[in-house]
Structure 1
């Protein structure tokens, strides 16, 4: 799969950046710095219940009380995919007043950007998936995880990081502040294997423990007649151990079959799942067509 040749993006464009699971707008800081250097505006959104609105229980601090952490109800328990989409569309409407908006999503952000673009395609000049879930053949990430191309993912190996029963806390909860070397090693390999341990631990400390199950299980099926009319790009990460390259390729192919007149422009970066933030110059070049 080769990327189509692109022209430089209109300098009045704003890139609307949508984060993945368990993180926030802060994950985009390296890319935003590069986009600013390149002369482009960007807006990194905190989805509902993320960023400064995230829940960090006292039991999550040090020393940790894992029993209490495993029973405290999550403020993200009622957050749905529609809530995420509403937040993105609100931001897009405000940004569109000053020029074109290009919608960019990473990982779990893919289900949100697809649903947002399906609902209001007129707001977006382009959609970019950075190893993100494309919900064409399957409605959400949970359904995609049942497919054979997901079999090599390391995500199922990270259950040791999980805390509490989702039926009790109301959401998925992870202890990213664990001192368990085995679990830290698995997390490192699954998310940012090429980074040094120091870089990985620094990244881990911007993660938040909770993520909405309702978002992960929502119906994010895209509409080929609306979403499919918007030019789109997929940034394929060849060393991704969370969403394996084979599954990325299947999602791309499924989308291209559904909308054959508007196929993905595909770019491949030699990167892990979260490691693309270490390649901000390359990612910015892809986004801006420079």
Structure 2
């Protein structure tokens, strides 16, 4: 079963947003109706306590800022919305030791309004966290929407999943070849020596930790701004792409490829939609579809976007989110 709808693209042209039912949960998203809902809802900004709240989860190297525009639009549509800054990264990068899968899950759980069920909207690596939260408390989660998100089979890392299709999809590693290793502490980010792809350094001693740092440095990676523009934001307006790439921060290795165990009885009962980014160079479309095959049960919405449709296809993404929210209330 396939539904197709036409949406006005950000440049005033026509952009095709394709929706398909995938796995054993057929749920088509009517993007034209959702677009109309988004337009009319802007005239009524009062928040409705009977509607599910929305928790937005950013991905690796980013922060809650990636959701700024959508937060405004969703609030205008009457939804209580909260974008989480994950511990040890983004706005809380001062102590990278706080960055663990458990702390990230706890931060999302704390953001869920006790008075209602929540819809998790997870971008990129935030998908792993959304899966863990849905497994932990499925009774509190109304649905999960993965935005070019990492949606993995139980017990598998993202690197292992990419290895499964590395022969047929040699670009499966996406951003990985461009990453630069660093050591980060409480007050510093130091270049690492050797080891990771893109380091370009020579083997030798690790730079000394400054005396002002109480904790030993933490191994992490950063995305060079030029790689951010070319790989993450390649279809966004140029000024937005440059600005976003400069905001990307260090991401500790400890949370780069976490493993989540989930079950059909818990995670498997939560409605899901996977938003594909058709022109994604970080998590290529072949990888996105392999994840959906390996973790069936999600409906599919395809957008003509790069890795960050929040910037390159914001109207279409908003329409898809609003339509998913509507299906959860019927």
TM-score bin (small chain)? 0.7 to 0.9
Structure 2 Cα separation of the partners of residues 171 and 14 of structure 1 = 35
From the superposition, tell whether residues 226 and 211 of structure 1 become closer, same or farther in structure 2 (CA, over 3 Å).
same
Quote the offset at 1:146 in angstroms.
2.3
Of stretches 230-239 and 9-18 in structure 1, the one that deviates more from structure 2 is 9-18
Does 2:152 correspond to 1:152? no
Q: Distance in 2 between matches of 1:54 and 1:164?
A: 18
Instruction: Write the distance in 2 (CA, Å) between the matches of 1:175 and 1:246.
Output: 22
Matches within 5 A, 1:69-88: 75-77=95-97, 79-88=99-108
Q: Deviations over 1:66-97 (max 9, x none)?
A: xxxxxxxxx324522111111111222xx131
The structure richer in strand per residue is 2
Q: Which runs of no fewer than 5 residues in structure 1 stay unpaired?
A: 56-74, 178-183, 257-262
- SS state of the match for residue 282, structure 1? helix
Q: CA deviation at 1:26?
A: 1.0
* Structure showing the higher helix proportion among its residues: 1
Match of 1:47 in 2: 86
- Counterpart-to-counterpart distance in 1, 2:135 and 2:218: 28
- Of 216, 219, 240 in structure 2, the residue corresponding to residue 171 of structure 1 is 219
The answer to whether the 8 A contact 1:111-1:140 is kept is no
- Please give the TM-score of this superposition, normalised by the length of structure 2: 0.69
**Which SS does the other structure have where 1:16 is aligned?**
strand
Q: 1:199 to 1:161 in 2, by over 3 A?
A: farther
1:137: how far off? 5.8
**Aligned Cα RMSD in Å?**
2.6
Per-residue deviation, residues 24-72 of structure 1 (Å, max 9, x unmatched): 11110011122123222210011112343224xxxxxxxxxxxxxxxxx
Corresponding residue for 1:230? 270
CA distance in 1 between partners of 2:62 and 2:154 (Å): 26
The TM-score normalised by the length of structure 1 is 0.78
Structure 1 runs of 4+ off > 3 angstroms?
5-11, 159-163, 165-169
2:305 maps to which of 259, 271, 274: 271
- Map 1:201-220 onto structure 2 (within 5 A): 201-208=242-249, 210-220=250-260
Contact 2:158 2:257 in 1 (8 A): yes
Structure 2 alignment gaps of length 5 or more: 1-18, 22-26, 38-47, 183-190, 197-205, 207-216
Count of matched residue pairs: 254
1:140 counterpart = 2:157: yes
The answer on whether the counterparts of 1:134 and 1:251 sit within 8 Å (CA) in structure 2 is: yes
